Amino acid sequence: MANPRVNLPSLHPAQRRIADHPARFKAVCLGRRAGKSALITNLVCKGAVNGKSIGVFVPQYRMIGEIWQTIVLLLNEIKIEANKTEGIIRLPDTGGRIKFFSLENETAGRGEKFHEIYLDEIAFAKDNFEFQWSTAIRPTLTDYAGSAMACSTPNGISDENFFNRICNDADTYWTVFKAPSSSNPYLPKDELDLIKRRTLPLIWLQEYEATFLNMNSATFFPLEYFLGEDRIPEPLPEMFGGIFAVVDTALKAGATHDSTAVLYCAYQPPTHLQPQKVFIVDWDLRQIHGSLLIDYLPEIQQRIEDLVREHKAKWGSLGIFIEDKGSGTVLLGQSIRTGVYTKAIPSNLTSIGKDERAIASSPYVAGRQIKISQYAYDKMIDSKGSYKNHLLSQIMNYRIADKESYKRADDLFDCLTYSAILACGTGDHF
């Protein structure tokens, strides 16, 4: 029984079902905001108060901070000795202790002994975690015949993913618990309904319904999201706020798939009736030698000015957004010489991967805020010997977690995700 001086938040029924189950090894697959972190911190605190030695393992060191702070606050009514540098919290009056580990250290846990261990967000551990579990972590339970709980939202279907295997293999020795976000009775139903309407089906199923999906087996962005009724391009408004372009430059000369891609977008500001929208009004895809990219910038600016007049954009040009890396850095540095108005895409967007940007842009696509004009929909050009609509082709062929993505052309798709985040995200880029 937990020390009565520690008042822990009550568990909701789905959490209680997991906590009370007698299984020694529990694999807990929960949707977003279903209460995974609250369940872990509750059980960690109870174990330590009862004199147990507890190990908490997370995929990356930066993830320790939040769970550490929560546990310290929950235990603030009793005497504790907390050393964040060493990653350990001791309870002198009970003999309990809690030790935190980052799985970035491949020997994390080696030499320790625990009554209980908790693997948080374990679906996001490295693919070789099975070996780390068997050689360094699982042995820490031997002395006390201890228990383990592995918690996470799903992260695709892969034989290399430890969490996928323990949840889905027929011969798993883990007792599996699954619960969607809606299992948390404290989440407003209206809010979940709103999220569902603004979330791509694949993302909703994985993140909120806690469903394991092969994310690279289907188009991530169904084309219908970019179109209007009857799956045809939506009519353009009579007037726009402004026009901007996003440029994705080829980083390596002679690369098989890298081309310089440009997406021209018309920005429609939000009103009290609807959020902001972006219409893709033109695009271009070319192989350009690095030394000639500077000469291409005035051409992009001229196209923006033509689109400003054509679409009656009252704010005029909103600029040319370019990645601040590789040849894009050169373009940004030289644009002043050419008199072209350029902006660097924020580093917090350029530093993450393509899949992460696709996921970050998905609420705006699912919310029908990104549209393709009839002109951009009908456009066909030849690039690398292939005559087609490369924009539509890249949208329809993009797959999340595609291990052969290096074979795929996605320069225009990159421009699309940048455009959606820049125009519809929280940043004030215009």
Distance, CA of 153 to CA of 28 (rounded, Å): 8
Distance, CA of 289 to CA of 255 (rounded, Å): 11
Residues 230 and 368 in one domain: yes
- What integer pLDDT is reported at residue 427 of this predicted model? 63
Residues 92 and 240 in one domain: no
Residues 203 and 225 in one domain: no
- What integer pLDDT is reported at residue 252 of this predicted model? 42
- What integer pLDDT is reported at residue 39 of this predicted model? 95
HSE toward the beta carbon, residue 392, CA cutoff 13 A: 19
Q: Are strands 342-345 and 317-323 parallel, antiparallel or unpaired?
A: parallel
pTM of the model: 0.67
Mean pLDDT of 194-216: 84
Distance, CA of 104 to CA of 87 (rounded, Å): 14
Alpha carbon dihedral 125, 127, 129, 130, in 10-degree steps, equals: 140
Total domain count for the chain? Answer: 2
pLDDT digits (tens, 9 = 90+) for 344-384: 898 888 888 888 999 999 999 999 999 999 999 999 998 88
pLDDT band at 342 (very low <50, low <70, confident <90, very high): confident
Q: Is residue 109 part of a domain?
A: yes
Q: Is residue 1 part of a domain?
A: no
Q: Is residue 198 part of a domain?
A: yes
Residues 254 and 387 in one domain: yes
- What integer pLDDT is reported at residue 330 of this predicted model? 66
The backbone region for 56, taken as left when phi is positive above 0, alpha when psi lies in -120 to 50, beta otherwise, is beta
CA distances from residue 152 to 30, 208, 278, 311, 369 in whole angstroms, order as listed = 6, 12, 34, 47, 31
- What integer pLDDT is reported at residue 404 of this predicted model? 67
Residues 222 and 124 in one domain: no
Residues 170 and 305 in one domain: no
Whether the predicted pLDDT of 31 surpasses 50: yes
Lookup: tokens for 416: 């699309």
Domain stop point among 208, 226, 258: 208
- What integer pLDDT is reported at residue 1 of this predicted model? 41
- What integer pLDDT is reported at residue 216 of this predicted model? 66
Please state, rounded to an integer, the average pLDDT across all residues of the chain: 88
Q: Is residue 292 part of a domain?
A: yes
Domain of 378: which CATH number?
3.30.420.280
Residues 280 and 377 in one domain: yes
Whether the predicted pLDDT of 406 surpasses 70: no
Residues 330 and 229 in one domain: yes
Domain of 24: which CATH number?
3.40.50.300
Range of the domain at 228: 218-424
Q: Is residue 402 part of a domain?
A: yes
Amino acid identity, residue 161?
N
Gyration radius of the chain over CA positions: 26
- What integer pLDDT is reported at residue 327 of this predicted model? 63
Whether the predicted pLDDT of 329 surpasses 90: no
Domain stop point among 208, 240, 263: 208
DSSP for 76-107 reads TTS--EEETTTTEEEETTTTEEEEEEETTSTT
Q: Is residue 5 part of a domain?
A: no
